[in-house]
């Protein structure tokens, strides 16, 4: 049963990653591209979490936390940069 759930999660995460990559390539604005990159980073973190659940270990937990922090800081930095640029 766990293998079937892992395959379903893998397929769904792969489709989501492909759609995020399409949005990165076709995004009309920089904010949409940054948001798509953030989504792609969270998809990678989710894939690491699925791997940890299937293999019953926590070896990738540091990478998941680092990906979440980097995604948050990157999104905030770009949004502040774009906001400052629009106000000047």
Summarised one tens digit per residue, pLDDT across range 16-54 is 999 999 999 998 988 899 899 999 999 999 999 999 999
Instruction: Answer with the residue of higher pLDDT: 86 or 12.
Output: 12
With a cut of 80, say whether residue 73 has pLDDT above it: yes
Instruction: Report the distance separating Cα 63 and Cα 73, nearest Å.
Output: 15
The answer to whether the predicted template modeling score (pTM) of the entire model surpasses 0.75 is yes
Q: Give me the domain span that covers residue 45.
A: 2-87
Instruction: Give the total number of structural domains in the chain.
Output: 1
Instruction: Report the distance separating Cα 32 and Cα 37, nearest Å.
Output: 9
What is the mean pLDDT of the segment spanning 56-77? Answer: 93
Q: Which pLDDT value is given to residue 88?
A: 65
Question: Residue 27 half-sphere exposure, CB side, CA atoms within 13 Å?
Answer: 15
């Amino acid at each position: 049963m766990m293998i079937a759930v892992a395959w379903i999660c893998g397929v769904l995460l792969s489709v989501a990653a492909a759609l995020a990559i399409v949005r990165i390539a076709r995004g009309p604005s920089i904010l949409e591209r940054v948001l798509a990159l953030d989504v792609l980073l969270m998809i990678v973190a989710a894939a690491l979490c699925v791997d940890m659940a299937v293999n019953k270990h926590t070896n990738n937990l540091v990478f998941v936390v680092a990906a979440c922090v980097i995604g948050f800081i990157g999104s905030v930095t770009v949004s502040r940069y774009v906001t400052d640029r629009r106000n000047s």
